[in-house]
C-alpha cells in the first residue's frame, strides 16, 4: 500500500519549538494521530485530530491539518530533553486499521 511519509530525523535546542511534518495517503482518512515512542517503550497516544478540523491545541502540542495537501504537522512548544523520542504519524482510513509512518526521531539538545 501507499506510505505515510515523515522526515526521519529532527534536532532542536531545548526551549525552541519543534515541528514534525507528515504527509498521509488518503483524503478520506477520518482521524489522524500522533504517537510518541521512547526508547524501549510502547507507543503513547499524544493527540489526534478529526478530519473536519484544521487545528487542535493541547497544552504544548499543536496539530495542524491541511486536508487539501494531506499534510499533518505536530508542533511542540518549549521543547524539553524529555521530549526526545520517536514520533509516529498515523492515519485512520475508513474500513482499515491505522496506517503508520516510519517515525521521526526527535533529538533535543541542551
Partner 1 sequence: SAVISQKPSRDICQRGTSLTIQCQVDSQVTMMFWYRQQPGQSLTLIATANQGSEATYESGFVIDKFPISRPNLTFSTLTVSNMSPEDSSIYLCSVLAGVNGDEQFFGPGTRLTVL
User: To which H or E segment does residue 18 belong?
Assistant: strand 18-23
Work out the number of other CB atoms within 10 angstroms of the CB of residue 109.
11
Question: If binding is defined by CB under 8 A, does position 20 make contact with partner 1?
Answer: no
Least distance from partner 1 to the Cβ atom of residue 4, Å? 8
Residue numbers 68-107 binding partner 1 by CB under 8 A: 88, 90, 92, 97-98, 100-103
Largest CA distance in the chain: 44
- Name the grid cell of 102: 516510519
Candidates 24, 33, 34, 87; binder of partner 1 (CB under 8 A) is: 33
String marking each residue 38-67 x if it binds partner 1 according to CB under 8 A: --xxxxxx--x-x-----------------
Least distance from partner 1 to the Cβ atom of residue 39, Å? 11
List of E strands, the chain: 5-6, 9-13, 18-23, 31-37, 43-50, 55-58, 61-66, 71-76, 85-92, 98-100, 104-109
Least distance from partner 1 to the Cβ atom of residue 56, Å? 12
Q: How many residues would you count in the chain?
A: 110
**Contacting residues toward partner 1, per CB under 8 A:** 31, 33, 35, 40-45, 48, 50, 88, 90, 92, 97-98, 100-103
Amino acid at each position: 500500500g501507499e506510505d505515510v511519509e515523515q522526515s526521519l530525523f529532527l534536532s532542536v535546542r531545548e526551549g525552541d519549538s519543534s515541528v514534525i511534518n507528515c504527509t498521509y495517503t488518503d483524503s478520506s482518512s477520518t482521524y489522524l494521530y500522533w504517537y510518541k515512542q521512547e526508547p524501549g517503550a510502547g507507543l503513547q497516544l499524544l493527540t489526534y485530530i478529526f478530519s473536519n478540523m484544521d487545528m487542535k491545541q493541547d497544552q504544548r502540542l499543536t496539530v495542524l491539518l491541511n486536508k487539501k495537501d494531506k499534510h499533518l504537522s505536530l508542533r511542540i512548544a518549549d521543547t524539553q530533553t524529555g521530549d526526545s523520542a520517536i514520533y509516529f504519524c498515523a492515519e485512520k482510513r475508513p474500513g482499515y486499521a491505522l496506517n503508520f509512518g516510519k517515525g521521526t526521531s526527535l533529538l533535543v539538545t541542551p
